[in-house]
């Protein structure tokens, strides 16, 4: 094994979470700060908890709502256009007869 190519290993690195939980584990960094740990993660707690940083969830919901509205308006526009076309075709056929 070559010397001086591996990072220093800290067997008692302190890991602290945003929820306030902290524990010790081995790492190449002396301190680690995380947003989610096993004490606050929904998989381990069984509770649904949205971590909204910079309004990301709200922005997504707004975009999804706009998309639904635009789909509805597109279908309404298509139906109106189709009705106009069929009406014109019927009128044009009546004139030719």
More confident site: 42 or 28 = 28
Q: pTM for this structure?
A: 0.44
Please state, in angstroms and rounded to a whole number, the distance separating the CA atoms of residues 42 and 50: 9
Residue 11 tokens, joined: 């067997």
Q: Are 39 and 55 in contact (CB under 8 A)?
A: no
Classify 6 in phi/psi space as left (phi over 0), alpha (psi -120 to 50) or beta. beta
In 1-97, beta strands by DSSP E: 10-17, 22-27, 31-34
> In the predicted model, what is the mean pLDDT of the chain?
80
37 appears as a binding residue in the annotation: yes
17 appears as a binding residue in the annotation: yes
For residue range 53-86, list pLDDT tens digits in order: 678 888 888 888 888 777 667 777 778 778 878 7
40 appears as a binding residue in the annotation: yes
Please state, in angstroms and rounded to a whole number, the distance separating the CA atoms of residues 83 and 77: 10
19 appears as a binding residue in the annotation: yes
Instruction: State residue 92's pLDDT score.
Output: 47
Q: Has residue 95 got a pLDDT over 70? A: no
Q: What percent of the chain has pLDDT over 90?
A: 26
> Once rounded to an integer, what is the mean pLDDT over residues 18-47?
89
More confident site: 82 or 14 = 14
């Amino acid at each position: 094994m070559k010397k001086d190519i591996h990072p220093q290993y800290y067997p008692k690195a302190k890991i602290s979470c945003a929820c306030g939980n902290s524990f010790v584990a081995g790492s190449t960094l002396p301190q680690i700060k995380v947003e989610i740990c096993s004490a606050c993660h929904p998989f381990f707690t069984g509770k649904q908890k949205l971590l909204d940083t910079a309004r990301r969830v709200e922005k997504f919901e707004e975009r999804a709502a706009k998309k639904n509205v635009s789909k509805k308006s597109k279908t309404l526009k298509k139906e109106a256009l189709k009705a106009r076309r069929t009406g014109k075709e019927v009128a044009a056929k009546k004139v030719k007869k």
